[in-house]
Every structure is written in C-alpha cells, then in structure tokens.
Amino acid sequence: MSGEVFRASLAVRSRCALGEGATWCARTGRFYWTDIEGARLYRYDPATGERTSWDMPERLATFALCADPHYLLLGLATHLAFFDLTTREMRRIVEVEPGLDTRLNDGRCDRQGRFVFGTKHEGATLRAVGGFYRLGRDLSLERLPLPAPAISNSIAFSPDGATMYFCDSPTREILACDYGADGAVGNVRVFTRLTDSDGVPDGSTVDADGGLWNAQWGGARVVRYGADGVETDRVSVPTSQPSCVALGGPHLGTLYMTTARVELDAAALAAEHGAGAIFTVPSGRRGLPEPLFGGQWR
C-alpha cells in the first residue's frame, strides 16, 4: 500500500442491524441508505441534519435513484418495485428467483441507466445458487451470464462503463468483466484478492479516476484499489463491519460508509459503540454522480 490511512468519523448515530445501499443523491445533496434487516429506508440531509425514514413491506436490500426524482427503484427481498417518496405508493415490477431460497442483495445502475443487481442464498448451508440480473429501461429482466454467487456484492462500473466489478463475498475475490453499452458481458477475471485477515468484500463504488472503493466486512476498513487492482488508500472504520460506500458531499469528495450490528455478540457491541452507524471521511478523491435508472412508472 502506498497511500495514506484515513480514519472515519461518526456522521449519523444510527443502530442499523444491517446498514447497506449507501447512495448519494447529487440532485438534492442527500444521503440514502437501507437497514436490510430492519426493513427501513433512510435519508439524511447533512446541510440541515434532517433525517427521514420509510418503513418497507419487506426487507429492502438495494435501491436506485430514478431519472424521475419523485421515485426510487427498490430491490426488496423478493421483487423489484417503484416507490413514490411523497405518497409512499408502491408499484411492483417483477418477482426475482421465485422458488429459490434467496433474496436480493447488492445493486447499482450501469452508465446506460439500467439496474444491475445480484442475489444472496439464505439456506442453512450457504450455496452459490443465486444470480446477477439486469432490469432494462423497458422494465424487462434478464439474467447475466456471470458465475452464480452465494452472496452477491461489490457491483460497480468504471467511469466509462466498459468494466463491471462484482463479487461472491465468501470467495474473497473481487471480479471484473468487460461490459458493453449494448449490455454484453464477458472476459470475467480476478480484479483483486483479499486474505483471510482482510475480511470479505462487501459494497463498492468507483471514483472519477477509476479507483474502486470497497467496504471490507469483518476487516474494520474500506480499501481503494487502482484500476490495476493494487491498493492505493485505506480508511480505518471504528467498527468491524463496514458494509457499503458512496462518494458524496458538495464536491463528491466525502466517503460515506454504512455499517452493521448483525453477527456481533454482546461483548463486541459493547466495544463497538458505532456499530450500525454512518461514518464519513474526506477521501482526497472525486466521485461520480450516481447513475439514474431510466425506466418509468407507467
């Protein structure tokens, strides 16, 4: 590692069981996230300190900002849906993996405004039976020809959109593949490998220079990798389970991190007062505006 080690600071004192889905809305200057196990969506305005939350009908695993600012695209445990932030009305789009013991997990929009996401196995013995999918702007759903994951994570796209990053967390490998504007994927390869002591790769985001920032569950850290897969920067997080990251703030230079309390025993929770909270740190890098889902509620 050649870069500086940064230390994250508490930004929002929350007690999420499983904070995830870190997303910065550049249009409004607000930060969104979900507590998956708490089945709740959150929004925080750092300019005013205002916090808003919405209860969900089932666990909310992932979501995306939409081209229409009134709505979000929700990846609930079993299906995709549109959500009206004002009226709280929902419109179901499509069920995902019916009949399988899986739920939706990580997701991000590609540079063309399509939503790419993966699933997570929830059986007693973890198995790689899930998939990676793409919801098109016409609301059609397709499965991508990528390796089946047990726990999908780290979905992100290079600044030019030509590379997709993803992982199956238990393998401790972040993968990359070629990603065409027409949706074609191929040339799957290992981007970087974590060691047993590093924790496991969780949610990621990409900065304007093409660096991948990855939250490392169990490792109490976020690591930035250059486009060559070599570590350049590290953020020390004062709780062991950082889960997802986003670059936000007025100049998209602040790293926002979600964290979790699940799987921590009483002694760990007593020691990790910030578990489940939101942390931030100046990144020294510039982010990219989050791509918007181009599909319409109709």
Tens-digit pLDDT profile for residues 169-209: 999 999 999 999 999 999 999 999 999 889 999 999 999 99
Tens-digit pLDDT profile for residues 4-61: 678 999 999 999 999 999 999 999 999 999 999 999 999 999 999 999 999 999 999 9
Kind and range of the H or E run holding 211: none
- Predicted confidence at residue 1, as pLDDT, reads 41
> For residues 246 and 25, is the Cβ–Cβ distance under 8 A?
no
* Distance of alpha carbon 95 from alpha carbon 284, whole angstroms: 40
- Predicted confidence at residue 5, as pLDDT, reads 79
Residues that constitute the known binding site for substrate: 103, 105
Q: Which of 265, 207, 277 is nearest to 8 (CA)?
A: 277
Share of the chain above pLDDT 90, in %: 95
Q: What is the mean pLDDT of the chain?
A: 96
- Residue for token pair 């300190």: 49
Residues that constitute the known binding site: 20, 103, 105, 153, 202
Catalytic residue among 35, 106, 202, 207: 202
Residues near 237 by beta carbon (within 8 Å), at least 6 away in sequence: 8, 220, 221, 222, 257, 259, 279
Tens-digit pLDDT profile for residues 109-132: 999 999 999 999 999 899 999 999
Cα angle, residue 200 at apex, residues 194 and 206 outer, rounded to 5°: 80
- Predicted confidence at residue 4, as pLDDT, reads 64
Residues that constitute the known binding site for a divalent metal cation: 20, 153, 202
Sketch out the chain's domains with CATH numbers.
5-282 (2.120.10.30)
- Predicted confidence at residue 80, as pLDDT, reads 98
- Indicate whether 3 pLDDT > 90: no
Share of the chain above pLDDT 70, in %: 99
Active site residue 228: no
pTM of this prediction? Answer: 0.97
- Predicted confidence at residue 20, as pLDDT, reads 98
